[in-house]
Structures are given as C-alpha cells and as structure tokens.
Chain A
C-alpha cells in the first residue's frame, strides 16, 4: 500500500497535493476513501474522488501551481491533519503571480483521507 510507506498523515496529505500538482490523477485518487467528502469555502460539499479531480482540473485551468508553497504550520491531532500555507500560483489569463492564504483540514480513516475541507481566499484568482 502506497500510503503505508508514508510515516504521518501530514506526509500523506502533502504527497496527495504533490500528485495533484503533477496531475497524476490515478495516484491522486488513491489517497482518498471512495466516499470522501470535499468542500472548498462556502461551495457545496461533494462526495467522491472524481468530484475532487474535476475541481482541481477546473482550478488548474485558471491558475498554474507555482511551488514551493510557503507552509506556515502543519499539525496532526488524532485522525485530523491541518496544513496552514500560502499557496502560490500563476494566473493563466495574465501571467500574474498570485497567492491564496489557505488552510486544509483533513480527517482520515486509517491512511485514507475521508474528509477534506479547504479554507482559501481565492479572490486573487479573478482579474478585478
């Protein structure tokens, strides 16, 4: 099992986000339970891995990841992992570097992510 080689839930979450940035969707989906709950900000929550893939593809069509992200803090408490970061991207429409301050909150079932709530401010995603 891929995820069992990773020593912490933070490692699993970061490996998942790396797979997303690499657009390795088969590997990306392996980090989640089949019925994973996913919600970004105030948007409607979704169930299932394909919904997450669709969201990430949609987002990457607007902004290109510009790693490394700046991590302010990572914490692991029981079945929960929290990542606080400034996520950096290039806005495709005008090539402008932009930053989303963001917290990712993950809840795990064993070594799989069963809930992913994202708390970003994505106002910079759009040209004002």
Chain B
C-alpha cells in the first residue's frame, strides 16, 4: 500500500486547490498535482492515461458549461490512500444560460502526495438536454 504523506485536511484542501486551478485554467499548476501516468475516467467513458486526458476533458467541459464554485459538498472522506468526495456541482450551460446540476462522486487515489487515479461517477445527461435528449434513466419515467 502506498504511503500517504498528507493528512486528511491537507488532502481535502489539495482537492479544492486542484478544482480552483482547473476552473482558472491554470494548467501548469493543475498538472503538478498528478502523477505523469494518472488514470482518468468519467462515467462509462474510456479509461485514459496522463494529465493531457484530464486537461482535454475539462477544457471540453468548460466550453459547454461555466462552473460555479464552490460546489455543494455532501460529504468528503479520506481512508488510506483514497479521498471520496460526494458533491452537487452547479454549472451554467453556455448554449442557453440554463442553470444545471451534476450530482457526482469523485474518487481520488493517491501515490504519496500525487493523484494517481481520478474516477468521476456522474450523470451528465443535462449536458445535452438542450439538444432534445431526454433523461431516459429517470425512475419517474416508468410511472
């Protein structure tokens, strides 16, 4: 098991610092928080390796959405080399200025003080609902 050199509070602060660097598009600062071969995966998307994959995803996301910080944090926990963050993230969709929300869980796995794995579990159906896609998964839909 990898040794974690950051205490819990510092790890959580580090996650918040990463989030700020991303929304500020400060990619030099942003990439310093990750291992070179960081694994990154969003939902059922492909696993990708390397900081470039994360930069590409966030740049693409922020083209479509404007983030609003701070996110609403439902819970944030650290156990061993893992930090789990349960949030409701608020955005404005740029195409129609609609306020939208992504409930999500981020799971970060650390190698010492660097993030070696970042998996995002989220429902991004609102990303494209301006294009007529419906929320097919809704439990209200069958009723």
Contacts and interface: CB of A to CB of B under 8 A. Distances in A.
| A and B part of one assembly | yes
Interface of A: 38-44, 46, 51, 54-55, 58, 72-73, 75, 77, 80, 82, 84, 99-103, 105, 117, 119-126
A84 B44 contact: no
B63 to A, nearest CB: 20
A41 B84 contact: no
Contacts of B140: 43-44, 46
Contacts, number: 97
A58 B141 CA distance: 10
A102 B102 CA distance: 15
B136 interface: yes
A121 B75 contact: no
A105 B44 contact: no
A58 B142 contact: yes
30 contacts: A38-B139, A40-B123, A41-B137, A42-B102, A42-B123, A42-B125, A43-B135, A43-B139, A44-B138, A44-B140, A75-B84, A80-B75, A80-B77, A84-B107, A84-B119, A100-B44, A101-B41, A101-B44, A101-B119, A101-B121, A103-B105, A103-B107, A103-B121, A117-B86, A119-B122, A120-B137, A121-B43, A121-B45, A122-B136, A126-B136
A119 B75 contact: no
Given A75-B82, A123-B43, 18 more contacts: A40-B137, A41-B125, A46-B139, A55-B139, A72-B107, A75-B79, A84-B107, A84-B119, A101-B41, A101-B43, A103-B105, A105-B105, A119-B121, A121-B43, A121-B123, A123-B44, A125-B136, A125-B137
A105 B85 CA distance: 11
Nearest to B42: A121
Q: How would you classify the secondary structure of chain A's contact residues: helix, strand, loop or mixed?
A: strand
Nearest to B86: A105
B52 interface: no
Contacts of A99: 44
B104 interface: yes
A10 to B, nearest CB: 12
B101 interface: yes
A23 B56 CA distance: 42
Contacts of A122: 136-137
B50 interface: no
